[in-house]
Amino acid sequence: MGESFDDEAGCVRINVEVTNRVVGPVTGDHGRFTARVPDVAEGAVPAAVKPYREECRV
């Protein structure tokens, strides 16, 4: 698996290859994506999409 950030294009590029030691190459994929982290106010996330339990880990 390869992953890198392309500064020029402003995206993350990935390259994944799955192989099996018996049958050889099984599948693979490559591509690019962008991600954004929305600014969410406290309490703005609906309970239906939050995890059942949250705990702070340091």
Domain ranges, ordered by start, for the chain: 1-35
Secondary structure, 3-state, the chain? CEEEEECCCCEEEEEEEEEECCCEEEEEEEEEECCCCCCCCCCCCCHHHCCCCCCCCC
**Residue 50 to residues 16, 45, 46: CA-CA distances in angstroms?**
30, 7, 7
For the entire predicted model, the pTM comes to 0.52
One digit per residue, the tens of pLDDT, for the chain of length 58 reads 889 999 999 999 999 999 999 999 999 999 999 988 777 787 788 888 888 888 888 8
